[in-house]
């Protein structure tokens, strides 16, 4: 008998080192090509979400207007100061973004506090500083997904400036959007000289900065007696007047998308000082009145007014008086910004394209 020979099977050959390196290189190239596209899609989605937030704010502002007969003031003071405040007579009232909370289905936040008391009353403060835990609420409609995550903590101000004992973090809900009060005369004189002078640049009740939310309100026993601006007062046309714009990223101060060493207090939707009064900045965004850079230069500002700023490429979203939202390029002429900001400057059919 013939011996049966067993066939020998050779194991399949693996990849050579060169083949493996080629495959890795191809994968790296594909990732390099796909990553920018993925980032663009992600940013486009974030920008759309940000725009939708402003549309919700616009609906809330109009519903407030329908219910009260006027726009919410950017902020108001009490006269006289509400009684019973352990800090003494505090007159500072509440902000526009606070007043419209019931119209974005966040009325529970106000129910936990008291609009008849000053915002500088511990009964409207978070624990351990006060008795209202609702003020820490992060309202999604007030937060742009393109802006960086951050913690809004007012404790340093109350400890260092007011001399109160440190009770730990003083956390409040953030906002990446701000009502537009108007523009400063320095901006008008240097960057938009054909625009009308704003009625006033002060911060006292009755003074007017020319924008849709230009007048600071005054709350008396008879209700709001100063600051009752209605849609009919937007004589430039509601579609030609900006109400709210992005002013994103505060407490941190950014200049040209770079984090600076500065720190800005007014970063919460409870703070009526978180408003926009347009100033011109140097091209690097570091020096107020140092040039005519207007949009995406800095989210900081001067005194209690901050600037139009977003983390989108090429511009920022803004809400018009008719409830529409438009992306405004950061290359737009300063005079066009002034025309859009003023409510009664007799500029109509403003074209930003």
pLDDT digits (tens, 9 = 90+) for 30-54: 777 766 655 666 777 888 999 999 9
Residue 303: its pLDDT value, please? 60
pLDDT at 1: 47
Strands laid side by side in the 177-183 sheet? 301-302, 305-306, 275-278, 177-183, 242-246, 315-320, 325-329
- Token pair of 214, please? 């230009």
Output the pLDDT for position 57.
Answer: 98
pLDDT of residue 44: 78
**In b/e form, how buried is each residue of 302-321, taking b as 16+ CB within 10 angstroms?**
eebbbbbbbbbeebbbbbbb
Low-confidence ranges of the chain (pLDDT < 70): 1-15, 34-41, 202-206, 302-304, 348-353
């Amino acid at each position: 008998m013939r011996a049966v020979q067993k066939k020998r099977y050779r194991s399949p050959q693996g990849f050579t080192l060169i083949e493996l390196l080629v495959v890795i290189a191809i994968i790296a190239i594909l990732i390099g090509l796909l990553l920018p596209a993925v980032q663009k899609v992600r940013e486009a989605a974030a920008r759309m979400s940000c725009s939708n937030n402003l549309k919700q704010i616009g609906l809330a502002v109009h519903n407030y207007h329908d219910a009260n007969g006027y726009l919410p003031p950017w902020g108001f003071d009490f006269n006289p100061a509400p009684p019973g405040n352990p800090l003494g007579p505090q007159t500072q009232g509440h902000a526009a973004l606070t007043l419209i909370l019931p119209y974005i289905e966040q009325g529970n936040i106000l129910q936990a506090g008291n609009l008849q008391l000053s915002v500088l009353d511990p009964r409207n403060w978070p624990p351990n500083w006060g008795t209202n835990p609702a003020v820490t609420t992060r309202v999604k409609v007030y937060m742009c997904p393109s802006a960086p995550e951050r913690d809004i903590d007012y404790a340093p101000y109350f400890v260092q400036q007011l001399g109160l004992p440190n009770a730990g973090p003083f956390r409040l809900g953030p906002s990446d959007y701000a009502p537009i009060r108007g523009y400063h005369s320095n901006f008008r004189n240097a960057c938009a000289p054909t625009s009308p002078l704003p009625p006033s640049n002060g911060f006292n009740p009755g003074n007017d900065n020319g924008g849709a939310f230009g007048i600071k309100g005054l709350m008396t026993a008879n209700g709001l007696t100063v600051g009752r601006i209605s849609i009919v007062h937007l004589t430039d046309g509601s579609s030609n007047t900006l109400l709210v714009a992005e002013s994103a990223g505060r407490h941190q101060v950014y200049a040209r998308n770079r984090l600076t060493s500065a720190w800005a207090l007014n970063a919460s939707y409870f703070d009526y000082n978180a408003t926009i009064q347009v100033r011109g900045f140097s091209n690097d965004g570091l020096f107020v009145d140092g040039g005519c850079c207007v949009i995406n230069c800095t989210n900081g500002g001067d005194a209690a007014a901050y600037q139009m700023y977003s983390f989108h490429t090429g511009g920022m979203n803004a809400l018009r008086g008719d409830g529409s939202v438009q992306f405004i390029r950061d290359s737009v002429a300063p005079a066009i910004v002034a025309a859009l900001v003023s409510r009664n400057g007799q500029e109509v059919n403003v074209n930003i394209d």
